[in-house]
């Protein structure tokens, strides 16, 4: 048995265009002193983000879908389909990323992998209405040899601010040599500027609405 734990870096709400970070930990929970303790082998693990669209059949009339069903999976199948078995249609997905291949975990051993992906800027916002729903999920899939694929889904929300994707961050005038130790710091600065810009856009939008009402 393998336990899989996924933890988002900073909560479940993101802006479209932001980087989602998730730490994924695989653990063999058996104690080394257990009589049935043995090493566990995983053939592979991948992660992918997708947005699932679902419409109420009683409220919305949609054309029939020609997409193939992925509810049934053979034991020897190795195709990673993150929305397998879910209702509705997958309208957006990022390229899958391989976390590892051929992982061996001894009793009590854990290994963690970092998953990072930029959320598409042109995707729909998260929405849960009575007629339609747009749900974002990060799906982690892993498989043992000659065993079915197991999926772990982590739901999160995406907010879309109009005008955010058209903003161009100013480039530094001074050309500095590349420093790999500063890449992480630069990424944090960009995320901070993106959050500041989003806050400014929200303040402008709400202030205009207040002026119109008054």
Give the mean pLDDT per block of 10 residues along the chain (214 residues). Answer: 91 91 94 73 94 84 57 58 87 94 92 95 90 94 88 94 59 47 54 65 60 55
**Domain span including residue 101:** 3-160
Domain count, the chain: 1
Domain at 56, CATH number: 2.60.40.640
pTM above 0.75, yes or no: no
What Rg value do the Cα atoms of the chain yield, rounded?
21
What pLDDT is recorded for position 21? 95
Q: Is residue 176 one of the residues assigned to a domain?
A: no
What pLDDT is recorded for position 36? 60
E-strand ranges in 56-118 read 89-93, 97-105, 110-118
Q: What's the rounded Cα separation, in Å, for the pair 26 and 24?
A: 7
What pLDDT is recorded for position 175? 43
Q: What's the rounded Cα separation, in Å, for the pair 83 and 64?
A: 18
Q: Is residue 92 one of the residues assigned to a domain?
A: yes
Q: Is residue 24 one of the residues assigned to a domain?
A: yes
What pLDDT is recorded for position 59? 73
Q: Is residue 172 one of the residues assigned to a domain?
A: no
């Amino acid at each position: 048995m393998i336990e899989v734990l996924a933890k988002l870096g900073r909560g479940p709400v993101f802006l479209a265009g932001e980087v989602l970070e998730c730490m994924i930990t695989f653990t063999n929970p058996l104690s080394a002193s257990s009589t049935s303790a043995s090493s566990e082998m995983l053939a592979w693990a991948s992660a992918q983000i997708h947005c699932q669209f679902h419409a109420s059949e009683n409220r919305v009339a949609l054309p029939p879908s020609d997409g193939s069903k992925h509810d049934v999976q053979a034991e020897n199948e190795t195709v990673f389909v993150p929305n397998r078995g879910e209702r509705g249609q997958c309208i957006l997905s990022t390229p899958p990323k391989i976390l590892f291949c051929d992982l061996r975990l001894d009793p009590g051993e854990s290994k963690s992998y970092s998953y990072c992906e930029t959320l598409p800027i042109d995707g729909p916002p998260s929405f849960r209405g009575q007629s339609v729903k747009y749900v974002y999920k990060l799906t982690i899939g892993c498989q043992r040899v000659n065993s079915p694929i197991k999926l772990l889904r982590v739901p999160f929300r995406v907010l879309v601010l109009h005008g955010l994707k058209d903003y161009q961050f100013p480039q530094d005038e001074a050309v500095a040599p590349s420093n790999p130790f500063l890449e992480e710091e630069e990424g944090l600065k960009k995320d901070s500027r993106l959050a500041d810009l989003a806050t400014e856009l929200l303040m402008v939008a709400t202030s205009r609405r207040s002026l119109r009402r008054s």
